[in-house]
Amino acid sequence: MLTTTLSLAWLETALLTSIRVVAFLVIAPPFSHNSIPLQIKGMLALGLGLAMSARAEGGASSLDTAGFVGAIVVELVTGAALGFLVMVVFSAVQSAGSLIDLFGGFSLAQAYDLQSMVTGAQFTRLLHMTALTLLFATSGYQFIIAGLARSFDAVPLGGGLDLGITAERLVDAVVQMFIASLQIAGPLIVVLFLADVGLGLLTRVAPALNALSLGFPLKIALTLVLAVTLFTSIPAVVEALTGDALDLLGGLG
């Protein structure tokens, strides 16, 4: 007759690890996309929690009921904060799409995407979906999971986040997001700005021309033509953003 001994300390560690993972997966891209069923997210979180429990072992042992409930709250907050940092980093692609929509004249056709929970026009949603697709196609999601596993070394179970370091990392993530969005959309914005300047000069030379009716088709055509060169740089951008996310997750200790 086979008997199995289940360690209570290991069970507590596995449960707390799974709670951090599920809070992370609900917020962090690409796992936060609503096209992934909640059942899949739950099973993935449980499987990753069991796999990462060996790395997090020792962070929670022999907790009483009140201590275990407090540890659950701490791990929920920790996982949500880690996922939010990753989301801020990858929001650079969405912000770049918003800038392109604004300067290219597409912002009048904004809509809400229920799957990705993104409000924006065509390029905002297109760049966001492209980045998520590349994360799965290039195995970038595996590096994000590896960064989550490294977070157990930086932030042990039940230890909680250092608010000072977390705030500093959040500021760094926001700054990196704005810089990356300008780097992505900057060349196209410059071209569209020069097109506006040219149309303004043309209006001064020939006032009979209707610059407004001429400007919208011209800027839309320029945006569509130059967007081809923009999409060739998206894989390198996603790779760089993945590296930034790994640095943030591993530098919270």
Provide the token pair at 211: 């610059």
Map out the domains of the chain as residue ranges.
8-250
Average pLDDT over residues 110-139: 77
pLDDT digits (tens, 9 = 90+) for 163-172: 778 888 888 8
Residue 109's pLDDT band, with cuts at 50, 70 and 90, is low
What are the φ/ψ torsions at residue 68 (nearest 5 degrees)? -70, -40
> What is d(CA 234, CA 12) in angstroms, rounded to the nearest whole number?
42
Lowest mean per-residue pLDDT among 10-14, 51-55, 112-116, 139-143: 112-116
Are 128 and 100 in contact, with CB atoms under 8 Å apart? no
Report which of 160, 159, 149 is spatially closest to residue 53, judged by C-alpha positions: 149
pLDDT digits (tens, 9 = 90+) for 24-60: 998 988 888 888 888 888 888 888 888 888 777 655 5
Model pLDDT, residue 2: 54
pLDDT at position 62 over 80: no
Q: Report how far residue 46's alpha carbon sits from residue 58's, in angstroms, rounded to the nearest whole number.
A: 19
Q: How confident is the model at residue 115 (pLDDT cuts 50, 70, 90)?
A: low
Write down the pTM of the prediction. 0.81
Given the structure tokens 């990356």, which residue do they identify? 180
Lowest-confidence pick of 79-88, 127-136, 153-162, 175-184: 153-162
Neighbouring CB atoms inside 10 A of 61's CB total: 14
- The pair of structure tokens assigned to 163 is 């608010």
